[in-house]
Amino acid sequence: MWRGVRRLAERTPPSRERFVDLLRAVSIVAVVLGHWLASVVGYDRRGELFARSALPDLPWAQPLTWVVQVMPVFFFVGGYANAVSLDSERRRGGNATAWLINRGGRLIRPTTALVVVMAGGALAARLLGADPSRIRLVVWFSTIPLWFLVVYVLVVVLTPPMYALHRRYGLVVPAVLAALVGAGDLGRLLGEDWWGYGNFLFGWLAVHQMGFAWRDGRLPARPRVAIPLIVTGFGALALLTLVGPYPISMINVPGERLHNMSPPSLALLAVATTQLGAALLVRDRADRWLRRRRPWTVVVALNSVILTIFLWHITAAALLVGALHVAGALPTPEVGTPAWLAWRIPFLIMFGAVLIPLVAVFGPIEIRGAGRPAIRSGPTRLAFALAAFAGIAFGLFDNSLLPSTAPVPFGLPTAGLIAYLSGAAILRFLRRVRPPPRVTEPRDGAA
């Protein structure tokens, strides 16, 4: 696998924006490390094992989320990469439907591996007599990363029309989306939480659109653009959180009147603006560094399995905690104490040691199937593709809604599992079966 990565790195075209790949790798690795570092495992009064976030017990750490909350970077990079790949698809003779089918394959393959393993493992545990509520709890915990894919799947599906809007209206589009986020926040502040539901889509679409702007040069990587973005974003963030009604933490903390992350708020968009400016400011220096063979090879290696790393990092933590629990060796120091802080590094090392073999097993699934030829797909294939993505999104969303201790046979909601697998199967079929060539009638007088 490493030799293949080295060959891939060596064949990188000079025109590739390597900094995009670095940002993608850094953002996902930061999410993984953040989850591991902020995790708390212990036993409740009944002796039951539990896991939760440490942020409610560490108010001093909440300002750090302004830096470590890097999901906006992933969506910003996603906008750039999706614009590049959509343009490339069209240059090769494909269209938006073909792009959607091909793009979805890379996203859904590693996700399906996780879903199938979880469902199969849950069924096996059920047949062996395990408590279905406990099975669901383990599966629910391991599939926490899937919430992110619900939104990202929708963003990918909307990329062709949103890219068309960007090409016509430019930065007006994210400005309108940010205004919609503000309206949703106002509703939440007035006690009408349903106003904010649209922010799950509007917020991330706004960040995604900024990636389009970087791609076409409306937001060039120049200090004259980067510094105003940093100043504006950070200034807005300070006003919204220190003076305004928004919490300081960019990761949801139980008990807060308003959350910044789920759904995205104006404060999170301020963080995104600051991070975007910082990224544009260091782009040229980072690009020169990435022209060196070793760092670029590492970035290529990480990107080749980046979704696998993200999808399985919670499972790795669950496996380690479960093994230590069974062995009676699970350390449970009080959160925030020197002992708890001292255990962060050993836990990181152990979590990583469990994740590496998982990536070795499931990473090739993510890599497989790249480089499909361009196909101009018609309305029928588009309808099937949209139906497939609808089933996939419903399945992932249904899992997010199901309570963490619901006694379901596969550890996942049955209807959602069927919808997801059906959508994934349709998408796989569309990728593998080429449409028949168009037959055109010869013109009068043609030979």
Q: What is the DSSP string of 149-166?
A: HHHHHHHHHHHHHHHHHH
Q: Is residue 427 part of a domain?
A: yes
Q: Which domain holds residue 235?
A: 2-432
Residue % of the chain over a pLDDT of 70: 95
Is residue 174 pLDDT above 50, yes or no? yes
Q: Mean pLDDT over residues 356-377, rounded?
A: 78
Q: Is residue 446 part of a domain?
A: no
Q: What is the pTM of this model?
A: 0.92
Judged by DSSP in three states, 267 sits in: helix
Most confident of 41-45, 224-228, 429-433: 224-228
Q: Is residue 69 part of a domain?
A: yes
Q: Which residues pair with 41 in a beta bridge?
A: 51
Do the Cβ atoms of 384 and 441 come closer than 8 Å?
A: no
Q: Please give the pLDDT value at position 375.
A: 61
Q: Is residue 444 part of a domain?
A: no
Look at the chain and report how many structural domains it folds into.
1
Q: Please give the pLDDT value at position 8.
A: 81
Q: Mean pLDDT over residues 89-101, rounded?
A: 91
Do the Cβ atoms of 102 and 372 come closer than 8 Å?
A: yes
Q: Is 249 left (phi over 0), alpha (psi -120 to 50) or beta?
A: beta
C-alpha angle with apex 304: 301 to 310, nearest 5 degrees?
A: 105
Is residue 102 pLDDT above 80, yes or no? yes
Q: Is residue 136 part of a domain?
A: yes
Which residues have C-beta within 8 Å of that of residue 183, sequence separation ≥ 6? Answer: 195
pLDDT band for position 447 (cuts 50, 70, 90): very low
Strands (E), 20-128: 39-43, 49-53
